[in-house]
A = this chain, B = another copy of it.
Amino acid sequence: MKVLPGGGAAMSGPVLRKLQGFSRLEEADAAALAMCEAGTRLVPAGTDLIREGDRPEGMLAITEGFACRYKLRENGARQIMAYLIPGDVCDLDISVLNRMDHAIGTLTTCRVARIAPEASRDLRSRPALARGLHRAAIVDEAILREWIMNLGRRSAVERLAHLFCELLVRMRAVGLTCGNSYDLPITQLDLADTTGMTSVHVNRSLGELRRAGLIERKGKRLTLCDLARLMEMAEFRPNYLHREMPTAA
């Protein structure tokens, strides 16, 4: 595996940027976050960061690449229940005294920061950071609910459209978009395991979206050509992804 340029400020990049969207952070908060870069490591695609049944501790932050939370059925079927994209942090201490009911694994090569329990306690001891992390967690839960809506009440094409809209908003929040396009470095099988479909059907549905002029895909780059129509067809309303920022009162 190639050695990539050092972790440097990589971690404080997307994570800081994301949390700033949820809480007004100070210099010291940013510095504390930066401290955690030390643990940044490059992890190849298809690696489990945590397995079901593990006793989690500390935190995990993704600064590059896509990871996911998932579960497997006995027949090998996989269901992805969340994407972890750059800037996403998952607090493992949150389940103190318990074990993982699902696994977290990389979908692509990822740069990951494992934050030790003590370090994560330090982060949480900072009010602004704690608030940001807490709100991010609340949004994560809202995303779970929206995914349930997606799986239960939207058609194949609508599910993909909705997912792409959601990812556009989330990627934009960490500065990883360019207009209405962003890198979606995952496989059609991954999309299938996310949307409860088959990779074959994902392929056909993507074709449908493309032929309708709604999306375009060149390599890993996904472009939402007609965002308005895409949002409309998926009934995408980004309200669940945002927190109202405290007004300067």
State in angstroms the CA–CA spacing of A146 and B78 once bound together.
12
Q: Which residues of A contact B (CB under 8 A)?
A: 69, 71, 73-74, 77-79, 81-82, 94-95, 97-99, 101-102, 138, 141-142, 144-149, 151-154, 193-196, 235, 239-240, 242-246
Shortest beta-carbon distance, A193 to chain B, in Å?
Answer: 8
7 tightest A-B CB contacts, nearest first: A152-B196, A151-B151, A101-B240, A144-B144, A79-B152, A81-B148, A79-B153
Please give, as numbers and ranges, the residues of chain B lying within 8 Å of A142 by CB-CB distance.
101
State in angstroms the CA–CA spacing of A78 and B153 once bound together.
8
Q: Which residue from chain B places its CB closest to the CB of A196 in the assembled complex?
A: B152
Please give, as numbers and ranges, the residues of chain B lying within 8 Å of A235 by CB-CB distance.
73-74
Q: Which of B74, B144, B240, B242 contacts A145, CB < 8 Å?
A: B144
State in angstroms the CA–CA spacing of A166 and B99 once bound together.
18
Please give, as numbers and ranges, the residues of chain B lying within 8 Å of A81 by CB-CB distance.
145, 148-149
User: CB distance B98 to A243 under 8 Å?
Assistant: yes
State in angstroms the CA–CA spacing of A240 and B52 once bound together.
11
Known contacts: A101-B240, A144-B144. The answer to whether A94 contacts B153 by CB under 8 A is no
State in angstroms the CA–CA spacing of A206 and B193 once bound together.
27
Further contacts, 10 of them, CB under 8 A, given A79-B148, A79-B153, A97-B245: A71-B149, A79-B152, A94-B138, A101-B142, A101-B145, A101-B146, A102-B145, A148-B148, A152-B193, A152-B194
